[in-house]
Copies of this chain bind each other. A is one copy, B any other.
Amino acid sequence: MADKDISFLLALAQKADLHGTLASSTVQLAEELGVSQQTVSRKLQDLFDAGTIDKSITPNGVTITLTEKGKAQLRALYGELQQLFGKQLVLHGIVKDGFGEGKFYMSQEGYIKQFAGLLGFTPYHGTLNLAVDKYAAALFLSTKKQSYISGFQTKERTFGGLKCYPILIAKKTAGAVVVPDRTAHTLDTIELIAPIYLRDQLKLENGKEVVLS
């Protein structure tokens, strides 16, 4: 029965920030959620009766907090989805243009030496950029072993640290995903390194799909 109102509960949780309280009104919530004020009023009562939220009515609105039971319900849903997506064993990405920074960074001795020690190969002096699904990428990488490459300094400038996840590229080539600590883009784009020049060896062009595992 509470199964139906779970998306309503989720919406409240997003506004109330999981822990913490939400001071609002049924009118305002109705507007934000695209339903009537009456529906909000009724649903809040239902959730309260179900023990998933605490609410207190004041002359100028309602104040809402999620109960432990309410949080548990969302966490259960989260767990189910996690099980679903957690089994993600491969990641699909589309080859896209980098802007040459990869080449610059991968020419730095400070990085190359650490990569060689950690991965067992000397990386080619460039990176391959892949456009990926942000969530899928986060999940995929979370199942991989994470290594850390320390930052360092040269006379000219400072180079930051980066995370590094060994993976298999296109079921053929051992390589790694590299995520700089101070990364510009989110995980919409990931950078690959490998012992060879991937674009040539795997005959990749922009727009081609690559599978990581």
Contacts and interface: CB of A to CB of B under 8 A. Distances in A.
A184 interface: no
Contact of A84 (B74, B79, B136): B74
A152 interface: no
A146 interface: yes
Interface of A: 3-4, 6-7, 10, 13-14, 17-18, 74-75, 77-85, 87, 133-136, 138, 142, 145-148
28 contacts: A4-B4, A4-B7, A6-B7, A10-B81, A13-B84, A14-B83, A14-B84, A18-B84, A18-B87, A74-B81, A74-B85, A75-B85, A75-B133, A75-B135, A75-B136, A77-B81, A78-B78, A78-B82, A78-B85, A78-B135, A79-B134, A79-B135, A81-B81, A82-B135, A142-B142, A145-B148, A146-B146, A147-B148
A147 to B, nearest CB: 8
